[in-house]
Amino acid sequence: MTDTTETPTPKRTQQAGSGGEGVRPIDSWETDFDHTHPDYAANAPQIWDELRDTCPVARSERFGGMWLPTRHEDIAAIAANENGWYTSHEVVVNQYSADDVMPPPIGGAPPITSDPPFHVDARRLLLAPFAPKKVNELVPFATDFCHSLLDSALAKAADSDGVFDAALDYTQAIPVRVIAEMLGLPAEDGDIFRTFIHHIVENPIERELEEEETAEYYLDRHIAEHAANPKPAGEGDLIDHLLGVELYGEKLAPEHVRGTILLLIVAGIDTTWSSIGSALWHFAQNPDDLKRFRDEPEVRPFAIEEFLRAYAPVTMARRVAEDHELAGCPMKAGDWMLLPFPAANRDPDMFEDADKFIIDRQKNRHGAFGLGIHRCLGSNLARMELTVALDVFVERVNEFELVDPASVRFSTGQIRGPRELPIRVHS
């Protein structure tokens, strides 16, 4: 027996800033799509489902030319990249560019911006710190932190008719605190990290940053501090690890260390924030699922994966490296290729009742963490944080609901999740 519920849709979305692509009205999702447009943020699941039936590889001339595949089969094939038709040199469609991005196959944030064969060697340096048994050592730390956040949030709720913002007062802080711990960066620098992230992944950029505000300036300072204070082997944090490892017999280039740290900050924060927030948004509207999650511990591992499938936050991007044809469409070198893994996760050819949330779904080959060689390096960390955040939340909060569905705000761009999520709790 399974409970099934329609996956709901957000009612209101973030307004794009002025001057960018995101404000121009959409002519047609088939020929003029824009993943940074507020209408896309509001309706993305429906847009993917319609395109899959009518135009499975959509086109847009925005951002210099983009493609949007929506079938699992196509997205998996692009991720597999067996013919080398795509490069990972750039993975975010934006106006951001660092001054001294390393040339292919390395890219600005190795290994996510790296192509084979360099990719596999650069990635191997990071696999051990993110392997499941290593990551699970952080469960007590994450659990204590989630409790401390809820201590504050519930105290706030007690003074405001049971209301707090689950996105701003709870889910936002969790991945920031955990990655700061892993990297050995100050716990209070979360706002600084968010500035970097929004500059890199959100469109359009509202203003250019001063040099002292840039990620490069901040990270160079902390890398220098780590280098000046070496720690004994096995006692260091991730920055110490990157300063200590060797690739092809040499220490990593300074830009490699900096690019990788920036990757770990950017890729690990808004993504996991989105996942936890989407799960709470679902629970707030589906009390039966909340009850099963709380009462049936054996359902929880399946529920976590179903949250990841149904509310996958990340759309990756590639550049077309060689002209070729995909689903009858002419791909030209230099075109952007979006990889909407959330759309692949809703393909009815791949998943039974793909548009339904089934809390104990038994067949679930979801691609929330990507597919192929770029599988999310931090997937075990993200899964751990999502699990701990929900376990602690349902332990501390009995019932809760949205204050007003219209007051929920979803992000635009390549990372999808609630950025404002006011809820009312009943303890």
Binding site for other proteins (CB under 8 A): 124, 127-128, 130-133, 301, 305, 362-367, 369, 371-373, 375, 379-380, 383
Q: Which C-beta is closer to other proteins: that of 128 or that of 333? A: 128
b/e map 168-183, b = 16+ CB within 10 Å: bbbbbbbbbbbbbbbb
CB of 374 to other proteins, least distance (A): 9
Half-sphere exposure of 320 (CA within 13 A, CB side): 19
Q: Which C-beta is closer to other proteins: that of 133 or that of 207? A: 133
Q: Which C-beta is closer to other proteins: that of 218 or that of 293? A: 293
Using DSSP, state whether 328 is helix, strand or coil.
coil
Give one DSSP letter per residue of 14-56, joined into a string: PPP-TTSGGGSPPS-TTTS--TTSHHHHHHHHHHHHHHHHH-S
CA dist., res. 2 & res. 52, Å (int): 27
Contact present, 202 and 35 (Cβ < 8 Å): no
CB of 64 to other proteins, least distance (A): 30
Q: Which C-beta is closer to other proteins: that of 82 or that of 159? A: 82
Give kind and range of the element (H or E) at residue 170: none
CB of 383 to other proteins, least distance (A): 8
End-to-end CA distance of the chain: 29
CB of 78 to other proteins, least distance (A): 15
CB of 342 to other proteins, least distance (A): 14
Q: Which C-beta is closer to other proteins: that of 7 or that of 379? A: 379
CB of 371 to other proteins, least distance (A): 6
CB of 424 to other proteins, least distance (A): 34
Rg (the chain; Cα; Å): 21
CA dist., res. 340 & res. 301, Å (int): 24
> Phi-psi category of 412—alpha, beta or left, where left has phi over 0 and alpha has psi -120 to 50?
beta
Q: Which C-beta is closer to other proteins: that of 165 or that of 385? A: 385
Q: Which C-beta is closer to other proteins: that of 142 or that of 421? A: 142
CB of 140 to other proteins, least distance (A): 19
CA dist., res. 14 & res. 10, Å (int): 11
Give one DSSP letter per residue of 183-244, joined into a string: HT--GGGHHHHHHHHHHHHSSS--SPPPGGGSHHHHHHHHHHHHHHS---TTS--HHHHHHH
Q: Which C-beta is closer to other proteins: that of 284 or that of 354? A: 354
